[in-house]
Amino acid sequence: MKLHVKKGDMVQVIAGDDKGKIAKVLKVIPEKNRAIVEGVNVNKKHTKPNAKNTQGGIVDVEAPIHISNLMVVEGKTPTRVGRRIDEKTGKLVRYSKKSGEEIK
């Protein structure tokens, strides 16, 4: 199944505690239809001391959020995403339903 969000996209959260936030997608988990978004759905995690964090303690970690709660932002406005075949290359590309322009 194709998803409307990809790693590196700017998205707006449209539901949940972080509604209205605009941030970058760090990772997409297609098996679970979830994505990890920078600074969104942040939880506290207790960690033991290790090589990365010699002190240990409580660390803020972004938890996955369902992709149905995300909307791709093109320019400054959120938009729905469609797919069409590009005339030049013949490949499937994503485009903005609002402006009709291709999403990179």
pLDDT digits (tens, 9 = 90+) for 71-104: 999 988 999 999 999 989 999 999 999 999 999 8
pTM: 0.84
Please state, in angstroms and rounded to a whole number, the distance separating the CA atoms of residues 36 and 14: 15
CA 76 from centre of chain: 16
Give the pLDDT mean for 58-81. 95
Q: Tell me the pLDDT tens digit for each residue of 6-44.
A: 999 999 999 999 999 999 999 999 999 999 999 999 999
pLDDT surpassing 90 at residue 57: yes
Please state, in angstroms and rounded to a whole number, the distance separating the CA atoms of residues 79 and 73: 6
Please state, in angstroms and rounded to a whole number, the distance separating the CA atoms of residues 66 and 50: 31
Domains and CATH numbers, the chain: 10-78 (2.30.30.30)
